[in-house]
A and B are shown apart, each in its own frame.
Chain A
Amino acid sequence: MDELIEILQDLHSDVDFETCTTLIDDKILDSFDIVSIVSEVNDRFDVAIPAKELIPENFNSAAALWALISRLEED
């Protein structure tokens, strides 16, 4: 989880990713961020996020994204 926060912090150092649950709803993340996140997650966790998981619910908070990564790691 810490490593994921680090990736996110790298994109927006002024956002509190531990608590924010409206990353998509409040337009904090944009399409460019999503592309960066997917590629960083692939590099660091060796997890490929498939297109069908690219839905707002998976990106609204760091916790949701972490749950997604964990789920994909298990598969």
Chain B
Amino acid sequence: MMRTVLDYLDNTASRLPDKVSFRDEKSALTFAELKDQALSGGSVLLNEGITREPVAVYMSKTPAEIAAFMAVLEAGSFYVPIDDEMPQMRIRLIFENLSPRAVICDESTKESAKELAGDAKIFVWDEIKSSAKNDEALTKVRASMIDTDPCYIMYTSGSTGIPKGVAVCHRSLIDYIESFCDVMKFDEETIFGSQTPFYFDASLKDIYPTIKLGCETVIVPHTLFMFPIKLVEFLNEYKINTLCWVVSALTMISAFGVLDDTPPKYLKIVGFGGEVFPIKQYRKWKKALPEVRYINLYGPTETTGVSMYYEIDRDFEDDEAIPLGKPFENVDIFLLDEDNKETDEGEICMRGTCVTLGYYQDPERTSQAFVQNPLNNRYPEIIYKTGDIARRNERGELVFVSRKDFQIKHMGHRVELGEIEADVNSVKGVRTSCAVYLKKKDRIELYYEGTPEEKELLSYLKEKLPRYMVPTKVHKLDRLPLTPNGKTDRKGLTAMSEGK
């Protein structure tokens, strides 16, 4: 019986020991090396008494980071990816919530880890990856693990200004990866081009099919996403045939007409998600690469990863939206109206093994989104309410309509406008603020009342927030406009920015 994702690694490492698992421009790990390093790193953690607890993995995005994740799992613990591009203040907030006793870092993050980690013990990956193995301890902890133990925590934007740590167990991840591999039809020949950061659940789409099936994942250098021809040349050089990317990374290629002159040569599968794929851009892809399978992937971090998919099988009008489609096997999705009754246009709710453990050390916010199924009062059953509004079309497919709250999707990332405001409001001298999202321009702007100068506030926000959450522009106003019932007039401010 399969209990943990380590079973995937065991199988593949014995079946394909010499095949490359993960690589970047500078390094590569075979499956045997991945397993070997995981056992070594895991032994070091166990020898230090670190087990059944969160371990922060604060490294740059490399094959080594995957080995560190596996090492944490081998020690019976769960990993928490922290990215070297996250602002320090955000990492501090995450560490406050997490209180980790152990942090794994690499040479590039060592200094910063020392500053941030407090009392936590710091392990430098290169120093532990070839250590002696403690087989007895590894076997013992492995035997004690069950599939409902956490596997990882990923932090996502929270409207109060404190990021929320979504804790996910092995069972949910296995359930997801099994269905996902079936739908996508990956195999040993699959070569992924990894685009998303590892602290973002979209990266699971590359990582775990690779470990389960023996695919290869090539980490695409972050800076290439600014230079589309170089990006495609990279895909061709590494014979990448499968992309699971956020939409903005795909449109970066199509919008500049790169597909006609420098088409990706090996592509077979393009999965996309994070935001709506504009039909015009999709058509360019379809026209240049008609044989490729295009699959829309939808699902929040709180239900493990992708829970719904739609493989494009027909043409669309310019103003139509590509459907979210239908649920994966073993996921039930239904729409609820404001009175918790089933409806054909309402909030997307999910039921199944995909529903994660909840927010780490945060019972209050957990109980708001992870609730008893309102359609079932007979036994305990927790569902996740996504906050996304969808409708059912005449074909029975779900189509995204809007958000229930002020969460937006920007550059493929989930952003709570409230989190930006909470940070702004915490600045000395700021009385109130309102963040607006300009859909057409895909940018965030901010209005505020108070003493700090615009420049000053913006530089502060750049230190505090991840890049994708920093407003493009901030506007200082004497008084923010109010709606007739006394709330900040977000719509009015949005219109003001759009008019400029």
Does B258 lie within 8 Å of A51, measured CB to CB? yes
Does A13 lie within 8 Å of B227, measured CB to CB? no
Does B455 lie within 8 Å of A14, measured CB to CB? yes
Whether a CB of chain B sits under 8 angstroms from the CB of A30 is yes
Chain A residues lying within 8 Å of B411, measured Cβ to Cβ, are: 32
Whether a CB of chain B sits under 8 angstroms from the CB of A41 is no
Nearest chain A residue, comparing its CB with the CB of B224: A31
Cα–Cα distance between A29 and B227 once the two chains are bound (Å): 12
Does B227 lie within 8 Å of A56, measured CB to CB? yes
Whether a CB of chain A sits under 8 angstroms from the CB of B472 is yes
Chain A residues lying within 8 Å of B473, measured Cβ to Cβ, are: 10, 13
Cα–Cα distance between A31 and B230 once the two chains are bound (Å): 13
Cα–Cα distance between A35 and B250 once the two chains are bound (Å): 12
Residues A1-49 near B (CB distance < 8 A): 10-11, 13-14, 24, 27, 29-32, 34-36, 38
**Known A14-B458, A51-B229; 17 more pairs at CB < 8 Å:** A10-B472, A13-B474, A27-B223, A29-B226, A30-B226, A31-B248, A35-B252, A36-B443, A50-B256, A50-B257, A51-B257, A54-B256, A55-B227, A55-B229, A55-B230, A56-B223, A59-B226
Cα–Cα distance between A14 and B474 once the two chains are bound (Å): 11
Whether a CB of chain B sits under 8 angstroms from the CB of A52 is yes
Cα–Cα distance between A11 and B441 once the two chains are bound (Å): 12
Does B252 lie within 8 Å of A31, measured CB to CB? yes
Chain A residues lying within 8 Å of B472, measured Cβ to Cβ, are: 10-11
Q: List 9 A-B contacts (CB under 8 A).
A: A13-B454, A24-B223, A30-B467, A31-B252, A34-B226, A36-B441, A50-B256, A55-B229, A56-B223
Q: How far is the CB of B322 from chain A (nearest CB, A)?
A: 21
Whether a CB of chain A sits under 8 angstroms from the CB of B459 is yes
Total inter-chain residue pairs, C-beta < 8 Å: 57
Query: Which B residues lie at the A interface, using CB under 8 A?
Result: 223, 225-230, 248-249, 252, 255-258, 261-262, 411, 441-443, 454-455, 458-459, 462, 467-468, 472-474
Does A54 lie within 8 Å of B227, measured CB to CB? yes
Cα–Cα distance between A14 and B472 once the two chains are bound (Å): 11
Chain B residues lying within 8 Å of A50, measured Cβ to Cβ, are: 256-257
* Dominant secondary structure of chain A at its interface with chain B: helix
Cα–Cα distance between A35 and B281 once the two chains are bound (Å): 14
Chain A residues lying within 8 Å of B230, measured Cβ to Cβ, are: 55
Does B256 lie within 8 Å of A51, measured CB to CB? yes
Q: Name B248's contact: one of A10, A32, A54 (CB within 8 Å).
A: A32
Q: Name A51's contact: one of B223, B228, B443, B462 (CB within 8 Å).
A: B228
Question: Which of B227, B248, B441, B467 has the most A CB atoms < 10 Å from its CB?
Answer: B227
Chain A residues lying within 8 Å of B455, measured Cβ to Cβ, are: 13-14
Chain A residues lying within 8 Å of B223, measured Cβ to Cβ, are: 24, 27, 56
Chain B residues lying within 8 Å of A56, measured Cβ to Cβ, are: 223, 226-227
Does A24 lie within 8 Å of B458, measured CB to CB? no
Chain A residues lying within 8 Å of B462, measured Cβ to Cβ, are: 14
Nearest chain A residue, comparing its CB with the CB of B470: A12
Q: Name A54's contact: one of B229, B441, B443, B458 (CB within 8 Å).
A: B229
Nearest chain B residue, comparing its CB with the CB of A59: B226
Nearest chain B residue, comparing its CB with the CB of A51: B256
Cα–Cα distance between A14 and B458 once the two chains are bound (Å): 7
Cα–Cα distance between A56 and B249 once the two chains are bound (Å): 17
Cα–Cα distance between A29 and B225 once the two chains are bound (Å): 11
Cα–Cα distance between A38 and B258 once the two chains are bound (Å): 14
Chain B residues lying within 8 Å of A34, measured Cβ to Cβ, are: 226-227
> Known: A13-B473, A51-B256. Is A31-B226 also a contact (CB below 8 A)?
yes
Cα–Cα distance between A27 and B256 once the two chains are bound (Å): 21
Q: How far is the CB of B77 from chain A (nearest CB, A)?
A: 32
Cα–Cα distance between A56 and B258 once the two chains are bound (Å): 16
Does B459 lie within 8 Å of A54, measured CB to CB? no
Q: How far is the CB of A43 from chain B (nearest CB, A)?
A: 12
Q: How far is the CB of A61 from chain B (nearest CB, A)?
A: 15
Cα–Cα distance between A13 and B262 once the two chains are bound (Å): 35
Chain B residues lying within 8 Å of A51, measured Cβ to Cβ, are: 228-229, 256-258, 261-262
Does A13 lie within 8 Å of B226, measured CB to CB? no
Cα–Cα distance between A44 and B226 once the two chains are bound (Å): 21
Cα–Cα distance between A36 and B255 once the two chains are bound (Å): 12
Nearest chain B residue, comparing its CB with the CB of A32: B411
Chain A residues lying within 8 Å of B228, measured Cβ to Cβ, are: 51, 54
Chain B residues lying within 8 Å of A30, measured Cβ to Cβ, are: 226, 467
Chain B residues lying within 8 Å of A29, measured Cβ to Cβ, are: 226
Q: How far is the CB of A38 from chain B (nearest CB, A)?
A: 8
Cα–Cα distance between A56 and B227 once the two chains are bound (Å): 7
Q: How far is the CB of B467 from chain A (nearest CB, A)?
A: 6
Chain B residues lying within 8 Å of A54, measured Cβ to Cβ, are: 226-229, 256
Cα–Cα distance between A22 and B213 once the two chains are bound (Å): 42
Cα–Cα distance between A43 and B441 once the two chains are bound (Å): 14
